[in-house]
Amino acid sequence: MIKLKAFLLSLVLVIATLALLNVTYVKKIDDYYKVKDNSIRYSTSYEKYKSRDILTNNITPNTLVLMGSSELVATINEDYHPNKIFNYNDFNIMQIGTSYSQNIIQATTLSSIEGAMSKRKVAIVESVQWFEKDGTHQDAFLNKASQEHIFHMLDNEKISKETKEKLINRIIEITKGNKQQNDIYKKYKSYFIEGKGTIIDKKLWNLTMPFIPLSLNENSMKIMPNQTILH
């Protein structure tokens, strides 16, 4: 009985701590990354790509989501890059993707952020190497995948259970060489697909989501601090 009380007390303290961080620290992060220019939309930071909050907080009714891979980064300084052509208030691009951001990465990201897209359109730049026989490489996937996006993909009621199951099965297959990540995705499957676990599991996962992306900082996010928006 004493052990049970101690466990319940520790659980309450953990939940209270996470809830407090959500309304204080996370709010500061959200406020910091809500900017008036397009610098975050055209940032090539991994932290941006992996964070649902950063992406959704910077998608407006005037923003078109553009997904791709290395070509979005390799041409970042060229005159024909979207950040040069569509740097406007009334029309701009949310650039998402870097090398090895292949279909499964884009599918989970889009499933996670689509609720913020009042413009129900997305542009995708496909690359030939996305269709190699062996599929995406494990190391590349682990580096580019977002646990947060995968969670919200599975929690998206607009996506069929069949599609979710195919995606999470493929993710589990790709991550089998990394026990820590593999175990997390197996737990996600158990809850969202197989109906096991409790609502407490989901609440705890949801509370910890904002802290999963790597540490955020001004230098990594704002690659164009002096950007001038055209009107």
Q: Which of 56-70, 120-134, 163-177 has the lowest mean pLDDT?
A: 120-134
Q: Look at residue 153 and tell me whether its pLDDT is greater than 80.
A: yes
pLDDT value, residue 70: 86
Mean local confidence (pLDDT), 2-14? 65
pTM (predicted TM-score): 0.77
Q: How confident is the model at residue 187 (pLDDT cuts 50, 70, 90)?
A: very high
pLDDT computed for residue 225 by the predictor: 40
73 and 223 Cβ atoms separated by less than 8 Å: no
Q: Please, which pLDDT band fits residue 213 given cuts at 50, 70 and 90?
A: low
Average pLDDT over residues 29-37: 64
Using one digit for the tens of pLDDT, what is the confidence trace for 76-90? 888 888 888 888 888
What pLDDT, on the 0 to 100 scale, is given for residue 129? 72
Q: d(Cα 98, Cα 138) in Å, to the nearest integer?
A: 16
The reported pLDDT for the residue numbered 121 is 92
- 167 or 71, greater pLDDT: 167
* Mean predicted lDDT score pLDDT of the chain: 80
What digits encode the pLDDT tens for the residues 98-135? 887 888 999 999 999 999 999 889 999 887 777 777 77
Mean pLDDT lowest among 64-78, 79-93, 217-231: 217-231
Average the pLDDT over each of 19-28, 106-115, 209-218 and give the range with the smallest value.
209-218
Per-residue pLDDT for 230 more than 60?
A: no
